[in-house]
Each structure stands twice: as structure tokens, then as C-alpha cells.
Structure 1
Amino acid sequence: MADTPAIRDPHRFVREHTALMPPPLVPEVPLHLAVETVALWQETEEALGELGLPPPFWAFAWAGGQALARYCLDNPDIVRGRHVLDFAAGSGLSGIAALKSGTRTVEASELDAFAIAAIEANAAANHVTVTARLEDVVGRDDGWDVVLAGDVFYEADLALRIGDWLAGLHRRGATVLIGDPGRAFLPKGELEEVARYTVPVQRELEDREVRFAKVWRFA
């Protein structure tokens, strides 16, 4: 693997390879986002010295996350004064929106050091504080009052593991909100829709220019 300044300093990589801009559905929350999707993807592979990587999820405002963020901003009573987990947070958009809606504390979990750097940079740009956790929290229960999960049901085995965990948190009494633009493995039979949004997206990522994203909770 290449030993470059970007490897040693993910925060620097985020700053140098993104621009601060508002997501279409959530202009209140500017984020460090990719200007050119394919270019950043290639630059990430080159920095890590590894080909065939998945897209840098932290550099895009995915439709499910935008829907969750919009829902939190429009319904602040759901998160106000509560302890929130932004699960598989990507850019941290949903958690930052929750903080702007009056939540007490937000933890944001991710498995990628670049995502952690992006979450911290985006929180600073929005003048809020997020506790970023570089770890797999599936299976854990740290007493969160609200769990936000955007765009997580895209792979069968992973979706089953995450779905069982989220259902358990719901049964314990947590409010679990899922933002999803029609991913294949969403467990719709266990959920009820609470909101829907039309979200502009990048054709390079979604093969279309608009996604219809919904916010769900366990029935």
C-alpha cells in the first residue's frame, strides 16, 4: 500500500479533494462533497494503492441520508434533547441535521478512517460536535434514544444482520428511523412509512438523476 501524506492524514485528503456545498434536499447542512465523482473515486484508489474499491461513501450525500436529515429538520421533536446514533454515517449528514434540530448528543459510526475525517470536518463546518466512532457497532446497545440509518439495506447478508440489530433496539424502546431510496433488501414487512421525498442524485452513482427516498420506522 502506498505511503503518502493522504494515508497519514485523512483529514488533509478530505479537505484537498472535496468542496463545501449544500446537498439538494438539505441546504441547511453544507458538507465536504466530491465535485467530480469518478475523479475522487480514482484518487482514493491511488492514495490507498488499491484498485476496485467501493465508492468513497463519505463524499456524497446519498438519498436515504438526505431524506433522514430532512425529516429530522422538519420534525425536531423526534430528536430534541435525545442521544442519537447516526449509523453507517458516511458524511455525517443525518447526525448533523439532528444536532441542528436540538438533539443532546450524536455519535456517528463508520468503518472507514476517511469517513471519520469527513464527519469531523462536516461537523466543524456546521459548528456542531459529533462523536465519531471508527468501529462496527452492530450488535451493541449503548443506550441510544434514536438511531438513524440511511442507505444500509443494499446487500443481503449485511441487511439481515443490520435489520435484526435495529429491530432489537426498537423492541428495547429506541426510536429507529431508516432512510431508504428503494434498496433491494429493505425489510418492508416490518416497517411503516412516515415520509417520502424526491431527491436529486448523481447519475454516476445511481444511474438516474432523481431518487424517491422514504423514511421508515418499525411498525
Structure 2
Amino acid sequence: MTRVKICGLKDPDLVRLCAAEGADWVGFVFVEASPRYVTPEAAETLLLGVGRSVPVALLADADDTLIDRVTATGIRVLQLHGRETPERVAEIRARTGCEVWKAFGVETAEDIAGAGAFAAADRLLIDAKPPKDADRTGGHGQAFDWSILNDWAAPKPWILAGGLTPENVAGAIAATGAPAVDVSSGVERLRGLKDKELVRAFLRAAKEV
């Protein structure tokens, strides 16, 4: 069964809903430019509702001070969504002892050619490359050409992201063989605000593949 991450949660009720409906991971964004930004202090309250879902912190080029504040909440999975080098990924993993994911923005096959260099990453998250004028690296609701992944031999466990919705997620899984999927804007009716029915529909569509 495909594993599912619902990212960009800010509402305790939505966190509890995701957990109750079977989300494998719930994501909290610690990037100030994002409309889904939460502080480590706010995350402490949100974490009370995660149930069996595993909480994930989304960070982008974070310094050690922010990483320490985030891990102090008890979150033990860090999704690095910035321009982190393989060396920085290894350093963060060694220093924190956390599970570390590295995100890649993809537009062409060449964009994932270097994924194997991130030997220290526990998982790779394959997302759409952000628009050129973007002020953040993820959460834009854009898909990429999934056929790019046809001949890709994933060097690590991986997660498909970018433009996924309740309507297209089953097709995306079938087209790519993705073992896991990640959604944020695809389950929002208003920017930054998750919709309960869309969350339920996404989880149902992904889990039934």
C-alpha cells in the first residue's frame, strides 16, 4: 500500500483528522516564506494530535539553531528542501541522529542525475522544480513530467510530490511506481488552508491504488 504524507499542517483539527484517516506522515513547515509556516512553539501544540502518524519537519537551508529548536519539539524526521549539499545532509544527520530526507526539484532527467550523491539521506523526495521567481522551494502545486522517472533507478527509498491532487494521485502512482506520495496545496481550497474533504479524498485515492 502506498504511504502518504500530508504536509503544511497548521490546524490541530486537521492534524488529528490526518492521523485518524491513516496518514503515514504529517508535515510541518518551518520556512518563514511559506503560507504554511509554523513556529517550533506552535508545532508543540500540533504534535499533540499526530497519533500514529510520524511528524516531519520541512526545512530549507536551516542553520543549526533552528534545527535544534525543531528537534527539541520531539520531531525526528527532517525534510531538507533547500540547497543543502551532500556534506550538509550528512552533517545534519550525524549531529541530530534524526532521519533525514532530501528534496529535489525536477524539470528534466538531468535534475535527478545527482541524487545518488546524497548517500547520507534516508529518503529522497522528488518534487517539481519551483518557478524561477519563487521565494521558496516547494508547495507550488505544480506537477512535472512523470515520464522523467521511467528509466530512473532510485538509489534510496523515495517519495513523489508536486501537483498531486485527489483526482490525479492514483494515476501518478500507476505511472511512476511511487512507493509514497506527498501532498500540500493539492488538498487546499484556500492557499495555506487544508480542506478536510480533500484530505480524506486524497488519502482514500492514494491508499486504494
Larger Rg: 1
TM-score, reference length from structure 2:
0.31
Select the structure that is richer in helix: 1
